[in-house]
Amino acid sequence: MQPWGEVLTTGSTVFLFLALALALSFEFVNGFHDTANAVATVIYTHSLKPWIAVIWSGMWNLIGVMVSTGAVAYGVIALLPVELVIHVGSGAGFAMVFALLLSAIIWNLGTWYLGLPASSSHTLFGSIMGVGLANSFLSKGHAFGEGVNWAQAEKIGLSLIVSPIVGFVCAGGLLLLAKALIKRPELYAPAQKDTPPPLWIRGLLVLTCTGVSYAHGSNDGQKGMGLIMLILIGVVPGAFALKMDTNSAVLSQIAAESQHVSSILERKAGAAQIDAAAASEEVSAFLRTNGTKGEKTVGAVLTLNNLVASKLAGASSYSSLPSADRKELRTNFYLVGEGLAKLSKTNEFSGPEEKAAFKSYKSDLDQSTKYIPTWVKVAVAFALGLGTMIGWKRIVVTVGEKIGKTHLTYAQGASAELVAMGTILAADNFGLPVSTTHVLSSGIAGTMAANRSGLQTKTLRNLLLAWVLTLPVCIFLGAVLFAAGLFVVFNVLGLK
């Protein structure tokens, strides 16, 4: 097979399609949970017929996915062990991809079957931690636990913990504010069976559904996109390692910046260049969670940066470079960019001019590597929408009837969705994944508490149980499946 001008073996072709199918299956199952939350209120309140709501939500999910920057996608990838990200096309990289996807799909399907609005974000986060921990345990020369980017894990973990609290408090507060300002009794009445609400309320609920769908696409949709890019980069690096439509002006700018950065690194004592292979190992070790700067670190970054400059010298486009050079260039872009980012935090490179040069250079390097093709965005949006069409009913019933002791009112649904939309869009600006499920369901619980409607203890207990169990279960599944995957790729398939 020869897609995108790159020859693939039969085995690579099978792996490519199987891995892509699993990644899209993850987004399909994601549609059961998170996207279903976006349509829950408009379906439950009969503001829209289910098939219309799903299509409408799917369209706005697509728009959200299409305008997304990719920051969340690569923020999730930043959790993965450095050596697996660099060598994603290796046997260990393949085992990582399958472990992540299978563990996330297994848990998501199980919680969906029980009608629990579990978080796909939480699930993927746990799976990645499991792979990282297993990789550090099974790899020689690694201390247990250093396979996880704990700084990034802390940021993402904090966002997953704080966002439901924000949903609960802000949605409850918004409902009380609406009651004080909007004196329309019909807005605070429970949804009538098989009877649509007044037109103006329908418009409000459709508007909030639209906002949550758009925000969901711009955030949750990116998680699957990041995994798909890992697969494409690992199997077809010549076509996807770099953004192939980058123009010559950008390449010239990167080449000029690389020379400027090299001059900064050369001024530091002990920044002598070392062998390329040793430089890659040195910077990889430096980028680990507990990695520290050694005597050779600056010289290693300098070596790799000079390789970048030499590869780009005279190049008018990435397509003019041999396929192997593109893969090597991506690896060096990653190591140099992340290495400079970590060096800029040390006392040795704390000057304003140095920091500005490093930051600008890394930003330009990222533009060539941290991108999402349009067809990947469309495929993810389609999988999300299809999953919502098939699996929405269980989640809608839970959201509408099983969180509070009274059925959901129009104002409660609108308040929870407005807060969910705002929270997700705010997280987008920081490149952090949040759970649509957690924010919306906690928002509805907050409106029930503010309304003094009472909360159903059994449902809340089950939701809390799913929330508490998701992380340890997915860590376990991710670790076990990664270990099993390593056995298969090394001992059964004979890959390296």
Q: Which whole number is the average pLDDT over 104-123?
A: 76
3-state secondary structure the chain: CCHHHCCCCHHHHHHHHHHHHHHHHHHHHHHHHHHHHHHHHHHHCCCCCHHHHHHHHHHHHHHHHHHCCCHHHHHHHCCCCHHHHHCCCCHHHHHHHHHHHHHHHHHHHHHHHCCCCCCHHHHHHHHHHHHHHHHHHHCCCCCCCCCCCHHHHHHHHHHHHHHHHHHHHHHHHHHHHHHHHCCCHHHHCECCCCCCCCHHHHHHHHHHHHHHHHHHHHHCHHHHHHHHHHHHHHHCHHHHCCCCCCCHHHHHHHHHHHHHHHHHHHCCCCCCCCCHHHHHHHHHHHHCCCCCCCCCHHHHHHHHHHHHHHHHCCCCCHHHCCHHHHHHHHHHHHHHHHHHHHHCCCHHHCCHHHHHHHHHHHHHHHHHHCCCCHHHHHHHHHHHHHHHHHHHHHHHHHHHHCCECCCCEHHHHHHHHHHHHHHHHHHHHCCCCCCHHHHHHHHHHHHHHHCCCCECHHHHHHHHHHHHHHHHHHHHHHHHHHHHHHHHHHHHCCCC
Residue 496 pLDDT > 60, yes or no?
Answer: no
Condensed to tens digits (0 to 9), the pLDDT of residues 241-252 reads 888 888 888 888
Condensed to tens digits (0 to 9), the pLDDT of residues 206-222 reads 888 888 888 877 777 77
Per-residue confidence (pLDDT) for residue 293, from 0 to 100: 84
Residue 5 pLDDT > 60, yes or no?
Answer: no
Per-residue confidence (pLDDT) for residue 3, from 0 to 100: 47
Query: Length of the chain, please?
Result: 496
Per-residue confidence (pLDDT) for residue 480, from 0 to 100: 92
Per-residue confidence (pLDDT) for residue 397, from 0 to 100: 60
Give how far the C-alpha of residue 49 lies from the chain's centroid of Cα atoms, to the nearest Å: 31
Q: Which whole number is the average pLDDT over 55-60?
A: 82
Condensed to tens digits (0 to 9), the pLDDT of residues 251-309 reads 889 989 999 998 888 887 555 668 888 888 888 888 877 778 888 888 899 999 999 99
Which position has the higher pLDDT, 265 or 148? 265
pLDDT exceeding 90 applies to what percent of the chain?
A: 6
Name the pLDDT band for 1 (thresholds 50, 70, 90).
very low
Q: Which whole number is the average pLDDT over 224-241?
A: 83
346: which 2 tokens? 């040390």
Residue 361 pLDDT > 90, yes or no?
Answer: yes
Which position has the higher pLDDT, 225 or 79? 225
Cβ atoms 289, 221 nearer than 8 A: no
Q: Which whole number is the average pLDDT over 432-458?
A: 77
End-to-end CA distance of the chain: 22
- Give the closest residue to 219 by CA, choosing from 346, 330, 60, 52: 60
Judged by average pLDDT, the poorest of 30-44, 53-67, 371-385 is: 30-44
Q: How far apart are CA 457 and CA 240, in angstroms?
A: 49
Q: Which whole number is the average pLDDT over 90-108?
A: 83
* Side chain identity at residue 476, one-letter code: F
Judged by average pLDDT, the poorest of 45-54, 259-268, 468-477 is: 45-54
Average pLDDT, the chain: 80
416: which 2 tokens? 């929870």
The CA-based diameter of the chain, rounded to the nearest angstrom, is 76
Name the pLDDT band for 45 (thresholds 50, 70, 90).
confident
Which position has the higher pLDDT, 441 or 242? 242
Condensed to tens digits (0 to 9), the pLDDT of residues 310-358 reads 888 878 888 888 888 888 898 899 999 988 988 888 777 878 888 889 9
Q: Which whole number is the average pLDDT over 106-129?
A: 77
What are the angstrom distances between the C-alpha of 267 and each of 263, 294, 303? 6, 17, 14
Per-residue confidence (pLDDT) for residue 421, from 0 to 100: 84
Residue 113 pLDDT > 70, yes or no?
Answer: yes
Condensed to tens digits (0 to 9), the pLDDT of residues 393-424 reads 666 666 555 565 667 788 888 888 888 888 88
Per-residue confidence (pLDDT) for residue 271, from 0 to 100: 59
Residue 15 pLDDT > 70, yes or no?
Answer: yes
Q: How far apart are CA 334 and CA 369, in angstroms?
A: 8
Residue 159 pLDDT > 90, yes or no?
Answer: no
What are the angstrom distances between the C-alpha of 72 and each of 77, 156, 385? 9, 10, 20
pLDDT exceeding 70 applies to what percent of the chain?
A: 84
